[in-house]
């Protein structure tokens, strides 16, 4: 798990100061489609300009800074479509940015030394990536549309094959394999030389792990309970 001693984000803090303190907040901005040139603007100003729900931004930003919201804060979140947009953007980031980047590092490592160990790692990574893609597709084709429909209609009968528990298990799987990969490289497999490539690979892996951690917290601990609330609320019409 990540551990940080960062600022607790409030509406009047300047975004630039926060990014200087915790550069991983750039990922947050990117997932919210906020330009990195934040000038001297405060968090609240940025949210107004980019039409982003402030409460959602604060909760997510604080997750990146290592603070988990309490139950009331989660229940007070109303703008589920902003949450979904954020999650979809992070999916795009994993699929088209992060994983291809990691993959290309592995290919380069392999090109430089044709060892069995690298081949194995590459294989492990490719299988893992397949699994991740499958999960992201599942979310995009089943989970998100279901939730969007739910918001539109207020309430619908639970009918499609969406299961919250199964969904959570996927996340555990994805995180377990990522940790395994990290431990294999840090503790067990020594690759000769190639410091620079391996460093880039590891840094990239840590960045992915960090973002995925926040991502599954958002889905499991925030989105699902909020959806659960709509599902059981009596329909008003």
Least distance between other proteins and beta carbon 123 (Å): 7
- Nearer Cβ to other proteins, position 190 or 236? 190
Closest CA to 174 of 223, 122, 216, 224: 216
- Nearer Cβ to other proteins, position 104 or 179? 179
- Nearer Cβ to other proteins, position 20 or 189? 189
- Nearer Cβ to other proteins, position 4 or 10? 4
In Å, how far from its chain's centre is CA 31? 9
Q: What is the DSSP letter of 160?
A: S
- Phi and psi for 42 in degrees, rounded to 5? -80, 170
CA 30/CA 47 separation, integer angstroms:
13
- Nearer Cβ to other proteins, position 148 or 189? 189
Least distance between other proteins and beta carbon 95 (Å): 21
Least distance between other proteins and beta carbon 203 (Å): 19
Least distance between other proteins and beta carbon 124 (Å): 6
- Nearer Cβ to other proteins, position 83 or 121? 121
CA 8/CA 62 separation, integer angstroms:
6
Least distance between other proteins and beta carbon 48 (Å): 33
Bridge partners, residue 14, by sequence: 42
Angle of the 144-153 helix axis to the 224-232 helix axis, nearest 10: 40
Least distance between other proteins and beta carbon 173 (Å): 8
Name the CA dihedral angle for 143, 31, 133, 218, rounded to a multiple of 10 degrees: -50
CA 159/CA 154 separation, integer angstroms:
15
- Phi and psi for 196 in degrees, rounded to 5? -65, -45
The greatest distance separating any two alpha carbons of the chain, rounded to the nearest whole angstrom, comes to 67
**Which residues of the shown chain bind other proteins in the complex (CB under 8 A)?**
3, 5, 116-117, 120-121, 123-124, 127-128, 173, 176-177, 179-181, 183-184, 187-189
């Amino acid at each position: 798990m990540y551990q940080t001693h960062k600022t607790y984000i409030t509406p009047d803090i300047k975004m630039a100061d926060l990014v200087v303190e915790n550069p991983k907040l750039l990922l947050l901005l990117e997932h919210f489609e906020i330009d990195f040139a934040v000038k001297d603007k405060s968090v609240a100003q940025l949210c107004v300009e980019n039409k982003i729900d402030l409460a959602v931004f604060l909760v997510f930003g604080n997750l990146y800074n290592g603070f988990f919201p309490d139950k009331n804060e989660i229940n007070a979140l109303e703008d589920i479509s902003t949450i979904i947009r954020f999650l979809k953007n992070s999916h795009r980031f994993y699929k088209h940015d992060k994983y291809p980047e990691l993959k290309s590092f592995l290919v380069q490592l392999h090109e430089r030394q044709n060892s069995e160990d690298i081949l194995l790692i590459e294989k492990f990574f490719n299988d893992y990536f397949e699994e991740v893609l499958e999960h992201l597709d599942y979310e995009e084709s089943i989970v998100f549309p279901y939730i969007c429909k739910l918001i539109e209609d207020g309430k619908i009968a639970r009918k499609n094959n969406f299961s919250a528990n199964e969904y959570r298990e996927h996340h555990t799987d994805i995180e377990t394999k990522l940790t395994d990969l990290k431990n294999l490289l840090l503790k067990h497999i020594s690759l000769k030389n190639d410091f620079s490539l391996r460093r880039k690979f590891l840094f990239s892996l840590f960045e992915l792990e960090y973002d995925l951690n926040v991502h599954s917290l958002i889905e499991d601990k925030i989105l699902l309970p909020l959806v659960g609330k709509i599902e059981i609320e009596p329909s008003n019409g």
